[in-house]
Amino acid sequence: MATKRDVYITEVALRDGSHAIAHQYTVEQVRAVAQALDEAGVPYIEVSHGDGLAGSSLQYGLSRTNEMELIEAAVSVCRQAKVAVLLLPGIGTIEELKEAANIGAKMARIATHITEADISAQHISLAKELGLETVGFLMMAHMAPVEKLVEQAKLMESYGADTVYVVDSAGALLPHEVRERIRALRENLQINVGFHGHNNLSLAMANTLVAIEEGATRIDGSVRCLGAGAGNTQTEVLVAVLDRLGIQTGIDVYKMMDLAEEIVAPILQAPQEITKDSLVLGYAGVYSSFLLHAKRAAQKFGLDARDILVELGKRKVVGGQEDMIVDVAAEIAKKREKAAAH
């Protein structure tokens, strides 16, 4: 008998959570987590490097284990859950997508910056050709006005996406901003709408509930908040909250509590909490990958890294523009020198 679900949850601890453990997952860990999630009734489990297929590199962090082995391990233990993969065009290629499909991935999530949906066309259409359920993932959704979001989501829909997600990569969106974005997509798309939250401002749960209220039926969560920055909407808590609200996820609350405590908690190097580092990412609205660069630049120029990050946020600097971090730091330092001289 098919499980009744009002909301379909994708568990991202084995992908987004990779950031939190420096991409050190082992085959045994992935197998244990995926099997427990499958038994708990989670419908989708995302497995890839934190930065998606082919993310393992000096720039993004080297994986301990080849991600195709991790995907294969998850596929081997899932009886009902579908294994999903993330691909960022420009990092992953259609070759990795084909390989993932060959070893049993059933969902492809194609991720682009909020204004760059056009670079996802060939990846989304190939994913459909390969018979994969296909998701368009619009990252850093706080960085563009609602009209732009709608325009970009419609592009992904036109390429064949089954679902388009509002992705709050920096954990910077406030609940009313999530509400207007999800509502606009529901009004303008014929396909499913999804939401992926981060907890840098402690709003992941609130934002997720607002998204569901507005009609998002595809939601991401991460067990034990295991994800980049301060992590994602905590899956086991989300399942309990939705159960209390009478919203069906088809997921066993007790089993989620148990696997979070017994299987995932021991993998965590430190508990996921909102530190000043993750808080400033949400406050400034910048990529988590900027943090280390900003700290280095701050040291070099005798600045507070937070001032650099806030300025980067104001200038809407995006991933791939890391070289601007030093320039911005130098500018701030120069301005301060001038001000001190007067």
Q: What is the mean pLDDT of the segment spanning 42-69?
A: 77
Q: Is CATH 3.90.15.10 the right assignment for the domain spanning 289-341? A: no
Task: Assign 255 a pLDDT band (cuts: 50, 70, 90).
Answer: very high
Residue 86: the pLDDT is: 95
Class of domain 8-267: alpha beta
In the predicted model, what is the mean pLDDT of the chain?
93
Tokens standing for 27?
């085959």
CA end-to-end distance (rounded Å), the chain? 76
Whole-prediction pTM: 0.94
Evaluate whether 8-267 and 289-341 have a shared fold.
Answer: no
Is 40 a residue whose pLDDT tops 70? yes
pLDDT in tens, 215-226: 999 999 999 999
Tokens standing for 107?
């969902």
Residue 238: the pLDDT is: 98
As annotated, the active-site residues are 19
Length of the chain: 342
Residue 56: the pLDDT is: 58
Q: Report which residue type is found at 40.
A: A
Between 207 and 57, residue with greater pLDDT: 207
| Residue in this structure with the two tokens 């808590």, named with its chain if needed | 237
Question: Binding site for substrate: which residues?
Answer: 15-16, 169, 196, 287
Between 318 and 109, residue with greater pLDDT: 109
pLDDT in tens, 264-322: 999 887 888 999 999 999 999 998 878 888 999 999 999 999 999 999 999 998 877 78
Residue 2: the pLDDT is: 66
Tokens standing for 267?
């993998």
Write down the domain spans for the chain: 8-267, 289-341
- ∠ Cα 25 29 31 (to 5°): 120
Question: Binding site for Mn(2+): which residues?
Answer: 16, 196, 198
Question: Binding site: which residues?
Answer: 15-16, 169, 196, 198, 287
Provide the 8-state DSSP code for 173: -
Is 59 a residue whose pLDDT tops 70? no
Report yes or no: 139 and 113 within 8 Å, Cβ to Cβ.
yes
Q: Which residues pair with 112 in a beta bridge?
A: 138
Task: Assign 62 a pLDDT band (cuts: 50, 70, 90).
Answer: low
Q: What percent of the chain stands above pLDDT 70?
A: 96
Is 58 a residue whose pLDDT tops 60? no
Phi, psi of 209 (to 5 degrees): -65, -40
Phi, psi of 216 (to 5 degrees): -70, 130
Q: Alpha helix locations (H) across 174-272?
A: 175-188, 204-213, 235-244, 253-259
